[in-house]
C-alpha cells in the first residue's frame, strides 16, 4: 500500500512539472508573439510600409486586380523568367516592363508611411471605414461592386514568395494630409499624389505617396508602343492593295465548307518624302485598276479636278508611327513556325483561326499577273505595304472585326479613342534587295610596261589653231628650223616611275571597290537579318487594333483622293467598307460580274489535323465575261475542284468533260476566224509555227 502511494506521488510530481513547463511556454509565446498594429498607432509613421522588401531586383511577378462593372474584376499579371517579362493573361505576349518594373519596385521599396487614417465610426467593425477610404479588397465577394473597392497589388519573388500585398484606395485631400501627418512628412510627399492604402489582412489604413496610375490593367499600357519599330522619315513609299474578300459558309458534299468571293479593285502606289512639307511629301507614282468584264489590269489617272488628300495620308503615317494595339490572339504553332522561318507561302495552310480572324491562304490565278497561278494570303479588307529606305517592307493585312472595345473599368469607352469594334491585323515583313543599289566597280588603269613608247597625244583643234598663230607671228627664220629638232620628233617612253604610279592608282581603286562592295553586302545581310528578326516577332500573333486606328491606316481610292474645289474625298467619307462603283477612273468602267464568276473554290473547313487544306486555283478565272442568258444556277452545275475531297461521280465527270470540249471548240473557232480574216490575230498565232 505504501509503495502504491509513493508511486502515485511520483506521477503527481511529474504531472505538476509538465504543467508548469506548459504554462511557462504559453507565457513566453504570448510575450514574444508579433503584436498587431493598432488602427491609430503612430509607430508606423515615417517608417517603410514594407520593411522586408529591400531588393527591387528580387521581383519576379506582379498581379493587379481592379473592380470592373461588367466583368466582375479585371486581373492583369506579368511574370519574369530568364530576364524576359511576359503577360500570362494574354497568352504570354512580351511585356515592355524592362524599365517600368524597376521603377515600380524601387518606389515600393522606399514607400514610407506618412500618416494613419482616422476612424470616423470608432467601431470595432472597420468595414465602414474601409469603404470610406476605398480600400475594400476587389477579390472579396461580400460586397457589391462599386462600394469603396480599391486596387489590389500583389508582388512576388521567386517561387511566388510574397513581397507586397496591398490595396490602394482613394486619393487623400490636402487638408487631411496636414491633420494626420507631421510637417516633415507632408513636405516629403508634397510633389507626389497621396493615397489611402491597406495591407491585405490588416485593419489599419495608412497614407502614402504613390502613383496609382502605374498599376494599370490595360494591356496596351504594358507593351511596346512602337509595334512596327519604324521611323517615318525613313519611309520610301506606300502601296495600297485594294480588294475585299467575302466568306460564305455552306454545305458541300455533306461537309461544312466556305466559299471565298474576292473582289479586286486595284492598287495605289505613293512615294513619300518625310523631309518635305505640305503636299510635297506625297506623289502618286501609279494608280492601277480593272476595266470591263474581262478584268483587264490597266493604269489609270486621277480625275482632272482631283488631288492627293495629304491630310488623310499624313494621319495614316502618324498612326503607323505609333501603331496602337489593344489585344492579341496567338497563331497555331504550325503557322508561326512557317512564318518565322520565312518558308514559302506554298508551305502554309489555312488554319481555322485564320478564317475566324479574316485571313485565308489561297492558290489562285493572279488577275494582276496575267492569271499566273500563285499562292497568296488574302485578307478581308485588303493589304497595306510600307517600304522603307533600307529595303524592309512591312505588309499589313486587315482582317475581320474583333470584340467590342471596353475601358479599364469594364464600361464601353466614350472618349472616342476606343469606341466601336476592334480589328484583327496580320503583320509580316520582307526584304527587297532590289532597293539596295549595287555599286558599279570603278575601272582600273592600264599598267604600262617600262621602256615602251607612250602613245602620241593627238592635238585638239584649239591647240592646232594656237600653234598656227604662233607660226604666223614668228619670223622667217622659224621656217629654217630642222624637222628633226621639232618637239613632235621626240619619242617618250614609260619609266619605272610611271609603272609604279599606275600600280598605286589601281591599288587605291581596288580598295574603293572592295569598300563599296563590302558596304553593299553588309546592307544586304543586315536587311535579311532585320526582316527575319521582325518576322520572328510578328509571326506568333494576330494583333487587334482599335477601329479608329484601322480607319486611319485603311487607305482606299475613296479617301486617298479629294476634290480640288470642295476638298471632299471621293465618296464624302472614309470609304471603309464601300464598293468602288461610281468611282471608276477608266473610260470602260469595271462592272463586277456575278459572284459565281469571281469565286474561289470551296474547301472543307477542317481535316483530321484540324487544318483547312490549301485552296486550288480559280475554276473559271477571275471575273469572266458574262454569257447572255447565263445564270448562277448554270454556273454552279459543276462544282470546283477540292483537294482531299470525294471523287466526282460519272455524271459530274461527263459534265466537266463536255464543258472543257465546248471551251476548246470555241477557242479553235476563234483562231480560225482570225486566220481567215488575215488580221493581227492570225499573225500572232502563226509566229510559233514559223
Residue-wise pLDDT for 580-603, tens only, equals 333 444 333 334 444 444 444 444
Q: According to the 3-state scheme, what is the secondary structure of 400-450? A: EEEEECCCCCCCCCCCCCCCCEEEEEEEEEEECHHHCCCCCCCCCCCCCCC
Give the DSSP letter of residue 572: S
Q: What is the residue-averaged pLDDT of the chain?
A: 74
Burial 450-489 (b: 16+ CB within 10 A, else e): eeeeeeeeeeeeeeeeeeeeeeeeeeeeeeeeeeeeeeee
Q: Is the dihedral of CA 351, 353, 356, 360 positive or negative?
A: negative
Q: Confidence band (pLDDT; 50, 70, 90) for 541?
A: very high
pLDDT score recorded for residue 664: 42
**pLDDT the model gives residue 632:** 38
What is d(CA 601, CA 608) in angstroms, rounded to the nearest whole number? 20
572-580: average pLDDT: 35
For residue 312 the three cell numbers come to 488623310
307 or 262, higher pLDDT: 307
Q: Which helix (H) or strand (E) holds 547?
A: helix 547-553
| pLDDT for residue 615 | 44
Q: Which residues contact 192 (CB under 8 A, 6 or more apart)?
A: 209, 210, 211
C-beta of residue 323 within 8 angstroms of C-beta of residue 549: yes
**Spacing of C-alpha 584 from chain mean position:** 32
Residue 380, pLDDT score? 94
Q: Say what the pLDDT of residue 342 is.
A: 63
- Hey, which bits of 558-618 come out as E strands? 561-563, 603-604, 611-612
Helices 333-340 & 496-538, crossing angle to 10 degrees?
A: 170
Model confidence over 172-201: pLDDT tens digits?
875 454 434 445 554 554 445 899 999 998
- CA dihedral sign of residues 414, 418, 422, 423: positive
Name the band, by pLDDT with cuts 50, 70 and 90, for residue 234: very high
**pLDDT for residue 11:** 57
**Cα dist from 63 to 156, 165, 206, whole Å:** 9, 10, 21
- Greater confidence (143 vs 390) lies with 390
Could you tell me where the DSSP H helices lie in 33-117?
100-109
Q: Which of 76, 71, 70 is nearest to 89 (CA)?
A: 76
pLDDT digits (tens, 9 = 90+) for 38-58: 444 567 888 999 999 999 889
Whether the predicted model's global pTM rises above the 0.75 cut: no
Report the alpha-carbon distance of residue 348 to residue 32 in Å, rounded: 69
Give the H/E segment covering residue 533.
Answer: helix 496-538
Q: Tell me, what's the pLDDT at 4?
A: 43
Supply the pLDDT for residue 649. Answer: 42
Neighbouring residues of 396: CB distance < 8 A, sequence distance ≥ 6: 383, 384, 385, 386, 425, 426, 427, 553
Instruction: Characterize 234-273 residue by residue with b for buried, 16 or more Cβ atoms within 10 angstroms of its Cβ, and e for exposed.
Output: ebbbbbbbbbbbeeeeeebeeeebbbbebbbbbbbbbebe
Residue ranges of domains in the chain: 1-33, 56-222, 232-437+530-612, 647-686
Q: For residue 340, what pLDDT is reported?
A: 84
Out of 250-264, 354-368, 443-457, 575-589, which region has the weakest mean confidence (pLDDT)?
575-589
Q: For the residues 577-581, what does the mean pLDDT come to?
A: 35
| pLDDT score recorded for residue 544 | 95
Looking at residue 473, its pLDDT comes to 53
Q: Kindly indicate the confidence band of residue 110, based on its pLDDT and cuts at 50, 70 and 90.
A: confident
Q: In which residue are the cell numbers 493581227 written?
A: 680
CA distances from 282 to 185, 311, 383, 629 (A): 58, 11, 20, 47
Which of 324-338, 538-552, 648-662 is predicted most confidently? 538-552
pLDDT above 50 for 392: yes
Dihedral sign for Cα atoms in the order 178, 179, 183, 186: negative
123-175 tens-digit pLDDT: 667 888 888 899 999 988 766 656 788 999 999 998 889 999 999 999 987 54
CA dihedral 223, 224, 227, 232 (to 10 degrees): 150
Tell me how far apart the 2 most distant CA atoms of the chain are, in Å: 175
- The dihedral over CA atoms of 63, 67, 72, 74, expressed in degrees to the nearest 10, equals -30
What would the 3-class secondary structure string for 21-32 be?
A: HHHHHHHHHHHH
Amino acid at each position: 500500500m505504501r509503495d502504491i502511494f509513493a508511486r502515485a506521488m511520483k506521477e503527481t510530481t511529474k504531472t505538476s512539472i509538465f504543467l508548469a513547463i506548459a504554462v511557462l511556454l504559453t507565457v513566453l509565446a504570448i510575450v514574444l508573439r508579433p503584436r498587431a498594429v493598432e488602427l491609430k498607432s503612430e509607430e508606423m509613421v515615417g517608417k517603410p510600409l514594407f520593411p522586408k522588401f529591400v531588393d527591387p531586383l528580387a521581383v519576379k511577378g506582379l498581379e493587379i486586380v481592379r473592380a470592373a462593372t461588367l466583368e466582375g474584376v479585371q486581373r492583369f499579371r506579368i511574370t519574369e523568367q530568364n530576364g524576359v517579362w511576359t503577360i500570362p493573361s494574354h497568352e504570354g505576349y512580351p511585356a515592355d516592363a524592362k524599365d517600368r518594373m524597376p521603377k515600380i519596385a524601387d518606389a515600393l521599396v522606399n514607400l514610407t508611411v506618412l500618416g494613419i487614417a482616422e476612424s470616423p465610426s470608432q467601431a470595432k467593425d472597420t468595414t465602414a471605414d474601409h469603404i470610406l477610404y476605398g480600400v475594400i479588397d476587389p477579390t472579396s465577394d461580400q460586397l457589391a461592386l462599386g462600394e469603396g473597392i480599391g486596387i489590389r497589388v500583389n508582388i512576388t519573388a521567386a517561387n511566388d514568395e510574397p513581397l507586397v500585398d496591398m490595396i490602394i484606395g482613394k486619393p487623400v485631400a490636402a487638408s487631411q494630409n496636414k491633420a494626420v501627418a507631421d510637417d516633415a512628412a507632408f513636405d516629403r510627399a508634397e510633389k507626389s499624389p497621396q493615397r489611402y492604402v491597406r495591407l491585405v489582412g490588416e485593419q489599419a489604413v495608412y497614407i502614402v505617396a504613390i502613383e496609382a496610375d502605374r498599376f494599370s490593367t490595360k494591356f496596351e499600357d504594358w507593351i511596346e508602343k512602337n509595334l512596327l519599330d519604324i521611323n517615318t522619315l525613313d519611309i520610301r513609299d506606300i502601296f495600297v492593295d485594294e480588294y475585299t474578300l467575302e466568306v460564305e459558309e455552306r454545305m458541300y458534299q455533306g461537309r461544312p465548307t466556305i466559299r471565298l468571293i474576292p473582289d479586286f479593285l486595284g492598287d495605289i502606289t505613293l512615294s513619300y518624302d518625310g523631309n518635305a512639307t505640305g503636299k510635297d511629301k506625297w506623289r502618286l507614282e501609279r494608280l492601277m485598276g480593272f476595266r470591263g468584264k474581262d478584268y483587264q489590269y490597266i493604269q489609270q489617272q486621277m480625275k482632272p479636278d482631283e488631288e492627293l488628300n495629304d491630310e488623310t495620308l499624313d494621319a495614316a503615317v502618324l498612326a503607323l508611327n505609333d501603331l496602337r494595339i489593344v489585344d492579341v490572339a496567338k497563331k497555331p504553332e504550325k503557322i508561326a513556325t512557317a512564318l518565322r522561318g520565312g518558308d514559302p507561302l506554298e508551305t502554309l495552310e489555312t488554319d481555322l483561326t485564320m478564317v475566324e480572324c479574316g485571313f485565308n491562304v489561297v492558290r489562285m490565278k493572279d488577275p494582276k499577273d496575267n492569271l499566273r497561278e500563285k499562292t497568296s494570303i488574302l485578307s478581308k479588307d485588303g493589304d497595306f505595304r510600307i517600304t522603307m529606305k533600307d529595303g524592309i517592307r512591312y505588309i499589313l493585312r486587315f482582317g475581320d472585326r474583333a470584340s467590342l472595345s471596353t475601358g479599364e473599368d469594364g464600361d464601353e469607352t466614350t472618349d472616342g479613342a476606343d469606341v466601336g469594334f476592334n480589328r484583327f491585323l496580320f503583320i509580316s515583313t520582307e526584304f527587297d534587295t532590289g532597293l539596295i543599289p549595287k555599286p558599279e566597280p570603278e575601272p582600273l588603269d592600264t599598267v604600262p610596261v617600262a621602256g615602251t613608247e607612250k602613245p602620241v597625244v593627238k592635238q585638239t583643234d584649239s591647240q592646232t589653231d594656237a600653234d598656227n598663230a604662233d607660226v604666223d607671228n614668228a619670223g622667217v627664220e622659224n621656217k629654217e628650223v630642222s624637222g628633226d629638232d621639232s618637239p613632235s620628233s621626240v619619242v617618250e617612253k614609260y619609266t619605272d616611275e610611271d609603272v609604279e604610279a599606275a600600280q598605286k592608282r589601281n591599288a587605291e581603286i581596288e580598295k574603293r571597290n572592295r569598300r563599296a562592295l563590302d558596304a553593299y553586302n553588309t546592307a544586304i545581310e543586315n536587311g535579311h537579318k532585320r526582316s527575319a528578326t521582325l518576322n520572328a516577332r510578328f509571326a506568333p500573333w494576330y494583333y487587334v487594333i482599335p477601329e479608329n486606328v484601322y480607319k486611319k491606316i485603311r487607305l482606299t481610292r475613296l479617301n486617298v483622293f479629294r476634290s480640288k474645289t470642295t476638298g471632299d474625298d471621293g465618296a464624302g467619307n472614309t470609304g471603309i467598307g464601300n464598293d468602288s462603283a461610281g468611282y471608276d477612273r477608266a473610260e470602260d468602267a469595271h462592272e463586277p460580274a456575278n459572284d459565281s464568276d469571281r469565286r474561289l473554290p470551296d474547301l472543307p473547313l477542317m481535316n483530321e489535323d484540324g487544318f483547312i487544306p490549301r485552296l486550288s486555283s480559280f475554276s473559271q478565272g477571275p471575273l469572266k465575261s458574262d454569257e447572255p442568258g447565263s445564270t448562277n444556277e448554270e454556273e454552279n452545275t459543276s462544282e470546283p475542284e477540292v483537294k482531299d475531297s470525294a471523287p466526282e461521280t460519272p455524271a459530274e465527270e461527263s459534265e466537266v468533260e463536255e464543258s472543257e470540249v465546248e471551251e476548246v471548240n470555241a477557242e479553235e473557232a476563234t483562231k480560225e476566224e482570225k486566220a481567215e480574216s488575215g488580221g493581227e490575230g492570225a499573225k500572232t498565232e502563226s509566229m510559233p509555227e514559223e
